[in-house]
Amino acid sequence: MAEVYKNLIDGQWVESSSGEVYENRNPANWDEVIGIFQKSTREDVEAAVEAAQRAYRKWRLLPAPKRAEIIFKAAQMLVERKEDFARDETREMGKILPETRGDVQEAIDMSFFIAGEGRRLYGFTTPSELPLKFQMSIRIPMGVAAIITPWNFPMAIPSWKIIPALVAGNTVVFKPATDTPLSAYNFVKVLVEAGVPAGVVNLVTGSGAVVGESLITHPYVKVISFTGSSEVGKHIGSKGASLFKKVSLEMGGKNAQIVMDDANLELAVDGATWGGFGTTGQRCTATSRVIVHKKVYKKFLDMYVERVKKLRVGNGLDPNTDVGPLINESQLNKVLSYIEIGKSEGAKLLIGGHRLTGGEYDRGWFVAPTIFADVDPNMRIAQEEIFGPVVSVIPADSLEHAIEIANNSKYGLSSSIYTNDIKKAFIAIRDIYTGITYVNAPTIGAEVHLPFGGVNQTGNGHREGGHTVIDIFTEWKSVYIDFSGRLQRAQIDTDEIVKVE
Ligand code: NAD
C-alpha cells in the first residue's frame, strides 16, 4: 500500500477537509503508485493562508541573517538527501536520474545563493537636496506569498520562489503541480526540519481549479509567484491585477537555436540534441526550433538525424536511458496531435513521429524523438509550444534572416547561436529579443545567480534567479530623516542659502 502524504498547515501535517485523496503514479510505469496525496479544498487553502498571515507577524521581525541561517541549514540537508530526492523525482516525473540530480542541485544552489542575501538585501542611500537631511531606500517584506509551480522542475522551481520569499521575510502557501507533489513534500519537509517555524511555510496539494484559484483570490495573499503555461498565467495575471496583487509570471517558450554556416557542426548537433530532447523536450527553455544556414542545412540535418537515432528512450532510473517518458496521458495526446499537425502542414518528418509501444513502453507515456525538416516559420509546429520531444528545423538565408525567424514568436524565453564569428555572436546578442541568449551552447542550462525569465508572452517583466528575484518578494520603502530641527520644504526651500550647522 502506497504511503499517504498530508498537507502542512500551521506546522501540522493534516488531511484535507474534503477527506478525499488522489494517486500519484509513475509516468514510466503507471502500475506503480508513488504516493497518495490530499485533494484539498478552499477551506484548506483558507486555513493555510490564515496560518501564514499569523506567522508573518513574527517571521518578518526575525533579522534576515537569522532567517537565512535556517536556509543554509536546509541547503546542507538537501545536499545530504540529494540522491534519495532525485530518485523520488525520477519516479514521479520521469526524467532521467542525472537530470533529477541536477534539479535537486539547482535547489541546493539557489538555497545557498539566496541565503547569502540574508546579509545583503541591499537598499541604497543618496544625498538630499536639503541640508541636514538623510535619505535612503530599504526593502520591506510583503506578507503572504502564494507559490504555484509546474511539474517539470518539481524541486528547482519551488526553490527559486520559496527561498527568496522566506529570506526576504514573507510567509508562504505553496501549491505544487498535481503530478509532482512528492518532490514538493520532500522540499517542504527539509525546510521544517531545518527550523522554519510553524505557519511560515504551508503546503496544500490539489487541483489548479480549486486550490490554485482559492489561493490567488485570497485577500491576505500579497504576492503571487507562478510558473506554468501562458494560458493559466494570463488568467492569474488578470485576476491578480483586478485584486491589486503583485503577480510574477514565468510561462511558455518556443526557443530557437541558430546554426550559422561557420559553426562547429558537431557542437551544434550536440546542442540541438540536448536542448531538444533533454527532459523529453519538457523544459520551458527547450530547443523547439533549429534555424540552420542553408549552406550547411543538408549536412546538419544528416548529422542531427544520425545522432537522434541513437537516443535510448525508457525508464529514467535505467542508466542506459537518454530520454524518459512524457509526464501524463494528456501531454502524450497533445504531443501526438502536434505531430499530426506537422504532417498535415507539409513539414518533412525525418525521424520519430509516433508513440513507442511494446514491453515496458506499454505501461508508460513514451514518444519517439521526432524531427521535422523544411518547416515554414509560420506553421503551427513552429509557433505553438509543444512541450515534448519534437523539434522543427527551419532553413535560413543569412544571419539577419535567421534572427528574423527566431524573433517571429509570441514567446521570448531563451535563444542560442552557434558560430565561430564573434561579430555574428554579438549581433545575435543584440538583436534576438529573448530573456536569455547562449553562444555556442544550447538553449537550456541556466545558472541560479543570473536573472531568469522571458519577454513577450513568456513573462510579465519580472526576473527570477540572480539578485533580481528579491524585487519580486519585497516592496521598496524610501525613508527621509530630517535632522535640521525646522520645517524644510522639498522643491521649495532648496534655493535658500542655508547656514549649515
Ligand atoms: P499549467 O499552467 O497547466 O500549471 C501550472 C500550475 O498552475 C499547476 O500547479 C496548476 O495546478 C496550476 N493552475 C492551473 N490552473 C490554475 C488556476 N486557475 N489558478 C491557479 N493555479 C492554477 O502548467 P504545467 O503543465 O504544470 O507546466 C508546463 C508549462 O509550464 C509550460 O507551458 C512551460 O513552458 C511552463 N514553464 C515555464 C517555465 C519558465 O520559467 N518560464 C519553467 C517551467 C515550465
Residue that has been written with the C-alpha cell 550559422 in this structure: 260
Considering the candidates 89, 92, 117, 250, report the single residue annotated as catalytic: 250
Q: What is the pTM of this model?
A: 0.97
**Do 202 and 65 belong to one domain?**
yes
> Which of 411, 439, 467 delimits the end of a domain?
439
Check which CATH number belongs to the domain holding 49 and give it: 3.40.605.10
Residue 45 resides in a domain: yes
**Which residues' Cβ are closer than 6 Å to ligand 1?**
148-153, 175, 177-178, 208-209, 212-213, 216, 227-229, 232, 235-236, 250-253, 284, 385, 387, 413, 454, 458
199 and 338 together in one domain: no
Residue 365 Cα to chain centre, angstroms = 23
Distance between Cα 395 and ligand 1 center (Å) = 32
Residue 484 lies in a domain: no
**360 assigned to active site:** no
Residue 97 burial (CB count, 10 A): 19
Residue nearest to atom 37 of ligand 1 (CA): 251
19 domain-assigned: no
Distance CA 311, CA 463 (A): 34
User: 174 φ, ψ to 5°?
Assistant: -115, 120
- Name the 3-class secondary structure at 116: helix
168/247 same-domain check: yes
Which DSSP string do the residues of 115-147 spell out, in sequence order?
A: HHHTT----EEEE-SSTTEEEEEEEE--SEEEE
Q: Are residues 199 and 282 in the same domain?
A: no
In tens digits, what is the pLDDT along the chain, a chain of 501 residues? 799 999 999 999 999 999 999 999 999 999 999 999 999 999 999 999 999 999 999 999 999 999 999 999 999 999 999 999 999 999 999 999 999 999 999 999 999 999 999 999 999 999 999 999 999 999 999 999 999 999 999 999 999 999 999 999 999 999 999 999 999 999 999 999 999 999 999 999 999 999 999 999 999 999 999 999 999 999 999 999 999 999 999 999 999 999 999 999 999 999 999 999 999 999 999 999 999 999 999 999 999 999 999 999 999 999 999 999 999 999 999 999 999 999 999 999 999 999 999 999 999 999 999 999 999 999 999 999 999 999 999 999 999 999 999 999 999 999 999 999 999 999 999 999 999 999 999 999 999 999 999 999 999 999 999 999 999 999 999 999 999 999 999 999 987 655 555
3-class state of residue 405 by DSSP: helix
Q: E-strand spans in 260-410?
A: 287-293, 348-351, 370-373, 390-396
- Per the structure, the count of domains in the chain is 2
Q: Would 495 be classed as within a structural domain?
A: no
295 and 418 part of one domain: yes
Is residue 282 located within the same domain as residue 323? Answer: yes
Among 45, 93, 152, 285, name the best residue to mutate to test ligand 1's pocket (greatest count of ligand atoms within 8 A of Cβ).
Answer: 152
Residue 499 lies in a domain: no
Tell me which residue range forms the domain holding 111: 39-251+459-478
Q: Is 284 a catalytic residue?
A: yes
**Are 100 and 233 contained in the same domain?**
yes
Query: What pLDDT digit, counting tens, does each position of 183-228 carry?
Result: 999 999 999 999 999 999 999 999 999 999 999 999 999 999 999 9
Instruction: Judge if 263 and 217 occupy the same domain.
Output: no
Which of 178, 251, 387, 469 maximizes ligand 1 atoms within 8 Å of its Cβ, making it the mutation to test the pocket? 251
CATH number (domain holding residue 377): 3.40.309.10
Query: What distance in Å separates the CA atoms of residue 245 and residue 220, rounded to the nearest whole number?
Result: 10
Q: Is residue 170 included in any domain, yes or no?
A: yes
Residue nearest to atom 34 of ligand 1 (CA): 252
Residue ending a domain, among 408, 439, 470, is 439
Which triple of cell numbers denotes residue 376? Answer: 515554414
Residue 101 grid cell: 540530480
Does one domain contain both 127 and 152?
A: yes
Choosing from 439, 468, 487, the residue where a domain stops is 439
- Domain annotation covers residue 3: no
Q: Do residues 265 and 238 both lie within one domain? A: no
Same domain, yes or no: 110 and 60: yes
Domain-embedded: residue 175: yes
Q: Are 46 and 177 part of one and the same domain? A: yes
